[in-house]
Amino acid sequence: MDVLTDNLDDFAAGLWVTTRLVGAAFLVAVVLGTLVAALRVSESRPLRSVGGLYVETFRNVPLLVLLFITFPGLRRGGVDINAWTAGIIALGLYTSAYVAEVLRSGVAAVSQGQREAGLSLGFGQVAVLRRIVLPQAFRTVIGPLGSITIAMIKNSAIVGASIVALDDILKEARVVNSATFQTTEAFFWAAVCYLLLTLTATAAFRGLEARYAIRR
């Protein structure tokens, strides 16, 4: 317990950094994931291929490699990117591929009749997608989106451990460990901090599910 109370500042600072990191990356992931999912279900074959290439790229490149590309890679290429932006972009892009795949399956679950009815009422392709299909798709995939969010919170530890070196929960736990040598306690409290975030996410998605989910 001493390890936590003596280093409360460090753990709190780490928790705040991780919270901001995953919050921003979640926004990036949902916005980009939705756009890519729209490409993936579009009528046009080239657009579908672009979406497919995006998903396969960011799903198959390890997060650690993405971090190397977005931080030292871009900097060496002359882009003056800072650690925060690089971390958010890498984690957001990586997660967006999974969001896109889940949304695509949600779109597939919306019956074709809905789309046809929308089109025959005079909505355009984009409007049908935006106003009729995607809202229902989102409501179908709240559960899987929750899983992706939890995975992203845990993946965020890689951002602090990599060369991007943000002072997140895991980093602060390692700083505490190197000062106190209380390995078990330091990492136990790090796990508790991550649990705080993942359980909050779980509760939030449970709430959304109870309110909006469509059961078929």
Partner 1 sequence: MRRKRPIVLLWLCVLALVLGACGGDDEEGGGGGGGGAAATPAAEVEQYPASTTMGKIQAKKQITIGVKYDVPPFGFKNPRSNAIEGFDIDFGKAVAAKLGVKPRFVEAISDNRIPFIMDGTVDLVLSTMTINPERAEEIGFTDPYFIAKGRILQKKGGGITGVEDLAGKKVCTVLGSTYEETLKEQAPDAELTLVDTYSECLESIQNGSVEAVSTDDVILTGMIIQDDSLELVKGEELTTEPYGGGFKKGDREFREFLNGVLDEYETSGAWAKAYQKWLGQYTGEKQEPPTETLSDALEAAA
The minimum distance between CB 181 and partner 1, in angstroms, equals: 5
Of 17-46, binders to partner 1 (CB under 8 A) are: 45
Rounded to an integer, what distance in angstroms lies between the CA atom of residue 193 and that of residue 210?
Answer: 26
- Buried-state track 103-119, b at ≥16 Cβ within 10 A, e below 16: bbebbeebeeeebeebe
The minimum distance between CB 213 and partner 1, in angstroms, equals: 28
Does 161 sit near partner 1 (CB under 8 A)? Answer: yes
Does 50 sit near partner 1 (CB under 8 A)? Answer: no
The minimum distance between CB 66 and partner 1, in angstroms, equals: 15
CB contact at 8 A, 33 and 97: yes
C-beta closer to partner 1: residue 72 or 144 = 72
CB contact at 8 A, 31 and 93: no
Does 195 sit near partner 1 (CB under 8 A)? Answer: no
Does 71 sit near partner 1 (CB under 8 A)? Answer: yes
Does 104 sit near partner 1 (CB under 8 A)? Answer: no
Rounded to an integer, what distance in angstroms lies between the CA atom of residue 101 and that of residue 29?
Answer: 12
Rounded to an integer, what distance in angstroms lies between the CA atom of residue 170 and that of residue 193?
Answer: 9
User: How many residues bind to partner 1 according to rule CB under 8 A?
Assistant: 26
Cα torsion 52, 134, 29, 61 to 10°: value is: -20
The tokens describing 25, both together, are 């990356």
Interacting residues toward partner 1 by CB under 8 A: 45, 48-49, 52-53, 56, 60, 71-72, 75-76, 80, 82-83, 161, 163, 165, 167, 171, 174-175, 177-179, 181, 183
